A = this chain, B = another copy of it.
Amino acid sequence: MSSENENGGQVTIRHVAARAGVALSSVSRTLSGHPDVSPAMRAKVEEAVKALGYEPDFLAQSLRSGTTRNIGFIIRDIANPLFALVARACEQELRRNGYSMILMNSDGSVETESKNLMLLRRRRVDGVIASLVAEDSPYIKKTILSLRRPLVLLDRDMKDLNASAVITDHYTGVFEATKHLLDKGHRRIAFVTGSENVYTTRDRLRGYRAAFTAAGEEVSEKWMALGGFDPEYALVHTRNFLSKNPRPTAIIAGGIGSTAGSLRALNELEIEIGKDIAFVALDEWPLFDIFRPKISSVYRDAQAMGVEAAHLLLEMLNGKNPSESVIETKFTARTSSEGGL
């Protein structure tokens, strides 16, 4: 089973050829399933391979073929449970197709993200799947263009990139959630999430605004805090909203980090969701189903995102043109969106 001989040195195709008493190329042909190989040759080579525990060197094969069967996967933070689900499904699907995943966190920094992309380029990955920190950095755009490898974006919308994308239909879910609140009579509906330099926020915002318009109500910038996906940002701004008079009667938190921050602020101030204030979370998290009170949410299938991303990339690796795949969202009203009025 070992691919190293007793000397500690690696067993190469050379050793196999020597032991079998044949040429290097014959070993290579046999192993790669070339048609022109006699049964006698096959037997000799297979014996030697087994006896020596030979194992082809992926590195050497890569240098030769120009293809590594490695895929770069860049996200802001693998500890975000949504990304973790995407990553798991994606890795499984890539693995089934003979690819490995190089994981890199961009830590919310455009600079780190850019460095990661450049490193993946130097590592000659066959493709990249990425959830970019921001869409509006010319620096990132330049780095991406220099990749010259198939790219799949996760929930990002950028022009002139020749990339595929898995995008979420946030609009529908957020529209329904906002409409639900408006129908109940809420008017001061705070919206706390990351900034508009990612499609995720823009599409959610579109749904939020559209629901107000459909209800014949004015939407106010005053109740929007669109500055960061991290819990700290949501904590600070939720706190701030709640100190106002009058304060919001409902809160929509976009993403798991924002939800965590918002709920922390509410806890701190001993404001009960589903009673003192209505609350809706966009995206769900582990043990979501046993959280009490039950949280009204806009759900999306993160696993499907991962599988789709892998498929889109595999298609491009097979020469197909870039394309888009849309993941749907579903709003479900539960206890947390009651009360508040």
**Is B3 touching A58 in the complex (CB atoms < 8 A)?**
no
**Is B63 touching A92 in the complex (CB atoms < 8 A)?**
no
Q: How large is the interface on A (under 10, 10 to 19, 20 to 34, 35 or more residues)?
A: 35 or more
Across the interface, name the chain B residue whose C-beta is closest to A120.
Answer: B100
**Is B84 touching A104 in the complex (CB atoms < 8 A)?**
no
A227 at the B interface (CB under 8 A): no
Q: Which one, A15-23, A28-36, A176-184, A285-293, is touching chain B?
A: A285-293
A4 at the B interface (CB under 8 A): yes
Q: Which one, A156-164, A241-249, A256-264, is touching chain B?
A: A256-264
A119 at the B interface (CB under 8 A): yes
A85 at the B interface (CB under 8 A): yes
Contacts known (A85-B79, A100-B102, A100-B123); A290 close to B1, Cβ less than 8 A: no
A56 at the B interface (CB under 8 A): yes
Across the interface, name the chain B residue whose C-beta is closest to A148.
Answer: B4
A88 at the B interface (CB under 8 A): yes
**Is A95 touching B88 in the complex (CB atoms < 8 A)?**
no
Which residue of B59, B87, B264 is within 8 Å of A103 (Cβ)?
B87
B-side contacts of A263, CB under 8 Å: 287, 290
Known A1-B146, A77-B88, A87-B103; further 15 A-B contacts with Cβ < 8 A = A55-B121, A59-B68, A59-B124, A78-B87, A79-B84, A79-B88, A91-B103, A91-B104, A92-B105, A92-B107, A101-B102, A102-B102, A260-B286, A285-B286, A291-B291
What are 29 inter-chain pairs, A to B, with CB distance below 8 A? Answer: A2-B145, A2-B146, A2-B148, A3-B146, A4-B148, A8-B148, A55-B118, A55-B122, A57-B124, A77-B88, A78-B87, A79-B81, A79-B84, A79-B85, A79-B88, A79-B286, A81-B81, A81-B286, A84-B84, A100-B123, A101-B102, A256-B286, A260-B290, A263-B287, A263-B290, A267-B290, A287-B287, A291-B291, A292-B292
